[in-house]
Amino acid sequence: MNVSWFEAAAFAAWLSALGVDRIGLPDEVTWEHACRAGTTTAYWSGNDEAALHAVGWYQDASGGRTHAVGDLPSKRAAEHPHRIRHLHGNVREWTSSWKTPDHSMLPNDHDPSAPSDRPPAARRVFRGGTWWFAPRICRAAFRGSWSPTFREVYLGFRLVRWCSRTWSVRPA
């Protein structure tokens, strides 16, 4: 938490340099795919606030604080089809994606080390809600963006590993 996009990307690059796996931030399409887990609902668990309450740390369920990955709001939270936790709430997560007006992906969006004609200060996309916000901001489709130098206490990141030309989100 409280890391800039540049710091998150540098950490991923450092891990990749160790040579075990190619590690990076997920692009926003990959993040949403992991979050939705094959559903079309607002949250992978359903459409209403009760569905979110079972799986996410948000304004009315968090007790006003972040929670450790192993700390689940209910047993239902452990039932995510990809075994990923805290996609709806807890902290927002940086992605590798650039902010575009039409939500489109740019070439090499998934790879922060790839050459780009975008200026370094161009806005980066974050996904997910936080322990501080209302349910509508914790939806799978919610997105926002900030300068890559921005930090806040409820902004973190999740890493993915490159395997066979696709990203794989590591389970919690």
**pLDDT, position 112:** 53
Mean pLDDT value of segment 148-172: 76
- DSSP string spanning 104-155? PPPTTTT-TTS--SS-TTS-EEEE---TTS-GGGGSTT-EEEE-TT---TTE
In whole angstroms, what is the distance from residue 143 CA to residue 58 CA?
16
| CATH number of the 5-169 domain | 3.90.1580.10
**pLDDT, position 133:** 92
- DSSP structure class, residue 159: -
**pLDDT, position 21:** 79
Mean pLDDT value of segment 59-88: 90
Q: Which pLDDT tens digit goes with each residue over 93-118?
A: 999 998 877 666 555 555 555 556 66
Candidate from 71-80, 121-130, 160-169 with smallest mean pLDDT: 160-169
Q: Which pLDDT tens digit goes with each residue over 4-37?
A: 999 999 999 999 888 777 889 999 889 999 999 9
- Report if pTM > 0.75: yes
How distant, in Å, are the alpha carbons of 21, 99, 100, 123 from that of 118?
Answer: 27, 10, 11, 10
Instruction: Please give the mean pLDDT across all residues of the chain.
Output: 85
